[in-house]
Amino acid sequence: MSEAARLPAALEPRLQSRLPWRLHPEAMAGLLLAGPAVLALTLLLLLPTAALLVLSLTDMELGGPPLRWIGLANYAELLGDPGFRIALRNTLVYVAAVLPLSVALGLGLALLIEGGTRGRAFFRAVFFLPVVSLLVSMATAWEYLLHPTIGPLNRALAAFGIAPVNWLGSSDWVLTSLCMIGVWENLGYVVVLFLAGLTAIPPELRAAAETDGARRGWDRFWLVTWPMLGPTTLFVVTITAIRCLRVFDTVATLTQGGPNKASEVLLHEMYLEGFTYFRIGYSAAITVVFLVVVLGLVLLQTRVLERRVHYQ
């Protein structure tokens, strides 16, 4: 402002028209401050996404002949590809099983830990351990636990007279087994998020509810805790859904999608197409589908649920 004030009066309108930003230092500062983030977002997210969209319209093959423009042919092939359909279906089944289970169990555990008097830090750490452990190395442990003949799980079941189950080798069970591991993997994360949400609820609210006649813990949960946890729950559900959609490492290390594609999932299929079969264009098309599913899910959750969860 002070600089503008020093300019001769006759010059001012001309400058104003040519360099409008000059008169808005705040706008300038805003652009400067946002600049690095905008640049980073463009370089790291928007441009790669655009490149992905373009690649998905080509027949690019790593090391292959020069790429050709093939329009929507990749997507047409996706529609008719039974492998892709199985992968998509398995991924959705995985999300539908793991998401509600980990959220429900996680909430229950968080309430128990929060309500407990002793060992809170201990239990928090115990349930968070799977999140910080390296899944690829844990896969070896799972492989042993779930081993059909020498695994401890089947031996424990045998004690109850239950016939051994071929957890990872049978196409009937493999997806169930992966879902169990998925719940184990996500539970700690959900617990910690819910614990944070629980501490944010003012204790007076529960005390007031009790005074008003909500004598049982169950009543207080439905009356106070659950509604107040709304925003946390929304966040947990969104994050967990995306984590479930992203399932890859257990599949890659434990089953490689087998037997006979019974545990094939979207990202593993994408990886196979792109980096084992070298079909970059087709792989890009799968990634686009993955992106659309993620975006759709996030939009749905925020649109539908956001309105109901805020109690201000």
The β-bridge partners of 69 are 58
Closest of 200, 222, 178 to residue 90, by C-alpha: 178
Is the dihedral angle over the CA atoms 124, 127, 131, 134 positive or is it negative?
A: positive
- Min CB(39)–another protein separation in Å: 25
- Min CB(83)–another protein separation in Å: 9
> In this structure, what are the phi and psi dihedrals at residue 58, rounded to the nearest 5 degrees?
-120, 175
Residue 259 sits in the site that holds another protein (CB under 8 A)? yes
Residue 124 sits in the site that holds another protein (CB under 8 A)? no
Q: How many residues bind another protein (CB under 8 A)?
A: 29
The structure tokens listed for 118 are 């002793």
Interface segment toward another protein; rule CB under 8 A; list 16-24, 32-40, 145-153, 290-298: 145-153
Q: Which residues contact 161 (CB under 8 A, 6 or more apart)?
A: none
| 14 HSE (CA, 13 A, CB side) | 5
Per CB under 8 A, the list member of 144, 196, 222, 292 interacting with another protein is: 144
Q: Which region holds residue 279: left if phi is over 0, alpha if psi is between -120 and 50, else beta?
A: beta
- Residue closer to another protein by CB (options 185, 273) is 273
Residue 159 sits in the site that holds another protein (CB under 8 A)? no
Per CB under 8 A, the list member of 277, 291, 292, 300 interacting with another protein is: 277
Q: Identify the three-state secondary structure at position 69.
A: strand
Interface segment toward another protein; rule CB under 8 A; list 38-46, 118-126, 194-202, 274-282: 274-282
- Min CB(277)–another protein separation in Å: 5
Quick count: other Cβ atoms within 10 Å of Cβ 85? 14
- Binding to another protein, residues 169-188 (CB under 8 A): 169-171
Residue 62 sits in the site that holds another protein (CB under 8 A)? yes
Residue 32 sits in the site that holds another protein (CB under 8 A)? no
- Residue closer to another protein by CB (options 211, 276) is 276
| Burial of residue 286, with CB atoms counted within 10 A of its CB: 0-12 exposed, 13-18 middle, 19 or more buried | buried
The structure tokens listed for 269 are 């299929």
Question: What is the largest distance, in Å, between two alpha-carbon atoms of the chain?
Answer: 97
Interface segment toward another protein; rule CB under 8 A; list 61-69, 118-126, 196-204, 283-291: 61-69
Per CB under 8 A, the list member of 53, 61, 128, 219 interacting with another protein is: 61
Binding site for another protein (CB under 8 A): 61-64, 143-144, 147-150, 164, 166, 168-171, 254-256, 258-261, 272, 275-279
